[in-house]
Amino acid sequence: MSRCATVSRSLDEPVSGTAATATTWLLLEQPGPWGAKALTSSHLDPALGRALEAAAEGTGVRVALIRRPGRHADPGTPPVRHVYAAHTVPGRVWLHGAVTRDPERLLDLDFPALGAGDHRAFGAALGGRAHTGDPLALVCTNAKRDRCCALLGRPLAAELAASGVRGVWEVTHLGGHRFSPTVLVLPYGYSYGRAEAHTVKEALHGAQAGRVVVEGCRGCSAWDRPGQAAELAVRSAADEYRAGVLSVVRTDGAAPRWDVTVLHADGRRWQVTVAQGMSLPPRPESCGATVLGTPARMDVVAVRELRPTAMAG
């Protein structure tokens, strides 16, 4: 039986502009099995999961569970859990970590402040500090969400861990099952689709050096889908791969066509025209889908650098 990721790859569906959106990621270690909606269907107290979902709604914070690669028979409740928070808006990027014996303490977080990029909220509630280790690679492996994530994601996570790559975690959900294996690299918040070990290693080395690898990149979670596609297009057009120097500052229009303004830290600007199309022919958007779909795709129509005179006008 064809899997959704196999079909998407065979049809060469573009991955640009398909990343999950979040200004801030909040990650809680939760070993053991995960259900389709992991925050309320794992060994985490479902009442806590529902409370975290409610607290994060509308704040720009996306909450996910993480676990170390490997076997996931029920290991019991861990005495100490790792917690990470990462803000992904360029110019204000940070990644902080903490450990806690009581996951209920996450409810003490100021979620609006966290979503706005104030790391003091994380430090005050959990004693979090700046992460000084390697960048994180979060590989989506939740079989109950989509079997492609387990069939393709879990071997990738295991391969990375076995080869000595530090900072590898399995994560519950990154969206876009048909692009499995999907990986989120923090702190900068760029997602990758159809990821292979060498691509993830390059992305991690790039993040360590403050650079963005665009091969297989779905986009930066700080931006909406048109913004993700526009920023990646400017990177390629301007041969600019430094992290943190490009920002999406304006989006005009509405589906199916937008004009996105991308600003460089040195003052240069580009206007990128992005059109929403349909991915044809119809295909399964996930392995559990009962009907075929035509998922939206972000097609970059034009990239134009705005000269100072054009900007003044």
**Tens digits of residue pLDDT in 41-92:** 899 999 999 999 999 999 999 999 999 997 765 666 678 999 999 999 999 9
What pLDDT was estimated at residue 158?
A: 92
Q: What is the model's pTM? A: 0.91
Q: What is the full DSSP assignment across the chain? A: ---HHHHHHHTT---TT-PPP-SEEEEEE--S-B-SSTTTSBSS-HHHHHHHHHHHTTTTEEEEEEE-SS--S-----SSEEEEEEE-STTS-EEEEEEES-GGGGGGS-HHHHHTT-THHHHHHH--EE--SPPEEEEE--TTT-HHIIIIIHHHHHHHHHTT-SSEEEES--S-GGG-S-EEEETTTEEESS--HHHHHHHHHHHHTTB---TTEEEETTS-HHHHHHHHHHHHHHT--BTTSEEEEEEEEETTEEEEEEEETTS-EEEEEEEEEE-SS-B-SSTT-SS-B--EEEEEEEEEEEPHHHHH-
Averaged pLDDT for residues 4-18: 71
Q: Could you tell me the pLDDT band of residue 5, with boundaries at 50, 70 and 90?
A: low
What pLDDT was estimated at residue 157?
A: 92
What pLDDT was estimated at residue 145?
A: 55
Q: Could you tell me the pLDDT band of residue 294, with boundaries at 50, 70 and 90?
A: confident
Give yes or no for residue 146 having a pLDDT over 70: no
207 vs 10, more confident: 207
* Cα distance between residue 109 and residue 124, in whole Å: 8
What pLDDT was estimated at residue 34?
A: 86
95 vs 297, more confident: 95
Q: Could you tell me the pLDDT band of residue 312, with boundaries at 50, 70 and 90?
A: very low
288 vs 124, more confident: 124
Give yes or no for residue 8 having a pLDDT over 60: no
Output phi, psi for 80, to 5 deg: -135, 135
- Compute the mean pLDDT over every residue in the chain, rounded to the nearest whole number: 89
What pLDDT was estimated at residue 1?
A: 42
